[in-house]
Amino acid sequence: MSYNAHELMICVAARLLENGATVGVGTGAPCAAAMLAQRTHAPGLFVVFEAGGCGPELPAMPISVGDSRTYHLATMATSMIDIFEMCQRGMIDYAFLGGAQIDAFGNLNSTCIGDFDQPKVRFPGSGGGNDFASLCWRTMVMTEHDPRRFVETLDFTTSPGFLDGRDAREHAGLPQDTGPYRVITNLCEMGYSLDSGRMEILSLHPGVSIDDVKAKTGFHIEGSSELTETEPPTDDELKVLRTEVDPAGVVIGR
């Protein structure tokens, strides 16, 4: 069964979410990945939304983190304060984030392009991004692979990755052993070096070369010593994604 880049990204992300884990998601592709995981290999995945929905059984794709569907048959309907307290207590295993820019250490900019006081473009800002990135055990990003997004230096640091090195988070007072985990794009899946904390390529999507990735990355990047090829979506994954998760094709673009 053929597939597009959006479907591949969602399937790759879904496979990273194990049964019994907790994940903080937003709307769009991250939510689709969580819903796909629940409907395939991880029925016990516990989904949390920033606005307060905890453990809902999502009947359909929500249009915002405060959509009433994010509370459907939920374990608890609470508030943003309680969600961030859960993060601080170490209760959220994974968080999905996005942004306009990401650097080699997984730091994210969702605030502005250009000077902060006189920006070329002003974005919504942190929202819950800084809290999730600072406190959740593993942060994942899903984004298109473009040199304007993958940059050497952020115009503004909204949410912390490894700052300027693997040990920098702990030195800055952030919880130990938390931080960036995976970046999933239309070209590859990336992780972070255990030594330096810099981004590295873990697997190349079918038909993509390491030179393709380097050409679309605005900083130096290399492949992992165990570089592999991404497994394409299975027919079962695509069927669930298209018929149960996003039948209207809003996220997957079909």
Dump pLDDT digits (tens) for 30-53. Answer: 999 999 999 999 999 999 999 999
Of 35, 28, 39, 34, which is closest to residue 6 (Cα–Cα)?
28
* Domains in the chain with CATH codes: 5-245 (3.40.1080.10)
Of 45, 41, 44, which is closest to residue 31 (Cα–Cα)?
45
Quick check: is 50 catalytic? yes
What is the SS3 assignment for 139-205?
EEEECCCCCCCECCCCCCCCECCCCCCCCHHHHCCCCCCCEEEEEECCCEEEEECCCCCCEEEEEEC
The dihedral built from the CA positions of residue 22, 182, 4 and 1, taken in this order, carries a sign that is negative
- Can you give the pTM of this predicted structure? 0.95
Tokens of 66: 């405060």
Quick one: pLDDT at residue 27? 87
Catalytic residue among 7, 50, 189, 237: 50
Average pLDDT over residues 161-190: 97
Contact at 8 Å (CB) between 95 and 23?
yes
Average pLDDT over residues 134-156: 97
Side-chain-side CA neighbours of residue 10 (13 Å) = 33
> What's the distance, CA 232 to chain centroid?
19
- What is the pLDDT confidence band of residue 155, given thresholds at 50, 70 and 90? very high
Tokens of 103: 């650097």
